[in-house]
Each structure stands twice: as structure tokens, then as C-alpha cells.
């Protein structure tokens, strides 16, 4: 665990030196919600569950749950995911390291 902290410190110093945003150089997800009908998720890991009223997405730091209706996965790349539909709620389950 100490090795991971050291690697994170080095990575943070390099990011500051190069003036790079954290979401570009790490696996931290960036979630952008546009109104109640669009959501862009960057740096996601996998789609765990998909129905027109519920979508469950795995990220590198936890699980993202999106509730609504008429939900669609419109655009998908290996890094980005665009969800459209009537978004009613979003919650996040964090991963705890033991």
C-alpha cells in the first residue's frame, strides 16, 4: 500500500508540472449531466446492467447507478459513454479498500 501512495505522489507531481487535469492522466471518472436528459461518463470501466429504467456502470473507483425511464446508451467508446432519456436519479457506490 505504501508503494501505491508513492506512485500516486509521483504521478501528482508530474501532473502539476505538466499542468494536466487529473481526469486525463488517471482513471477517475468524469460525469457530466446536461439537464435531466443527457449524461456523459468518461473513464468508465464496464456496463454491469442495462434496462430502459436502470443502468449500472462500473468505474475504477465505484459503481454508478442511474435511474429513470426511456434510458438509452447512445454513444459508446472505450472511454466515453453517453446516456440519454429521462434521468430521475443518480447514486454512487464507492469501493472501499480493506
Report the top-level CATH class of 27-94.
mainly beta
27-68 per-position pLDDT tens digit: 788 999 999 999 999 989 999 999 999 999 999 889 999 999
17 phi, psi to nearest 5 deg: -65, -40
Determine how β-strand 30-34 pairs with β-strand 38-42: antiparallel
Residues 6+ apart with CB under 8 A from 28: 22, 43, 60, 61
Q: Where are the domains of the chain?
A: 27-94
pTM given for the model? 0.72
Is residue 73 predicted with pLDDT exceeding 70?
A: yes
Amino acid at each position: 500500500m505504501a508503494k501505491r501512495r508513492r506512485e500516486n505522489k509521483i504521478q501528482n507531481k508530474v501532473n502539476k508540472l505538466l499542468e494536466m487535469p487529473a481526469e486525463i492522466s488517471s482513471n477517475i471518472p468524469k460525469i457530466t449531466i446536461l439537464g435531466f436528459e443527457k449524461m456523459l461518463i468518461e473513464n468508465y470501466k464496464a456496463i454491469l446492467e442495462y434496462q430502459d429504467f436502470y443502468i449500472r456502470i462500473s468505474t475504477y473507483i465505484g459503481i454508478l447507478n442511474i435511474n429513470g425511464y426511456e434510458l438509452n446508451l447512445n454513444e459508446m467508446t472505450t472511454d466515453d459513454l453517453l446516456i440519454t432519456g429521462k434521468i430521475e436519479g443518480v447514486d454512487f457506490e464507492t469501493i472501499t479498500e480493506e
